[in-house]
Amino acid sequence: MLKESVETALEEIRPALRADGGDVELVEVTEAGVVKVKLTGACHDCPMGMQTLKMGIEAHLKQKVPEVIEVLGV
pLDDT tens figures, 21-45:
999 999 999 999 999 999 999 888 8
Confidence of residue 47 (pLDDT cuts 50, 70, 90): confident
Could you tell me if 68 and 61 are in contact, meaning their C-beta atoms sit under 8 angstroms apart?
yes
The domains located in the chain, with CATH, are: 2-73 (3.30.300.130)
Selected residue with higher pLDDT from 43 and 69: 69
Residue 3: per-residue pLDDT: 95
pTM: 0.91
Query: Which residues make beta-bridge pairs with 26?
Result: 37
Q: Which of 62, 3, 45 is nearest to 73 (CA)?
A: 45
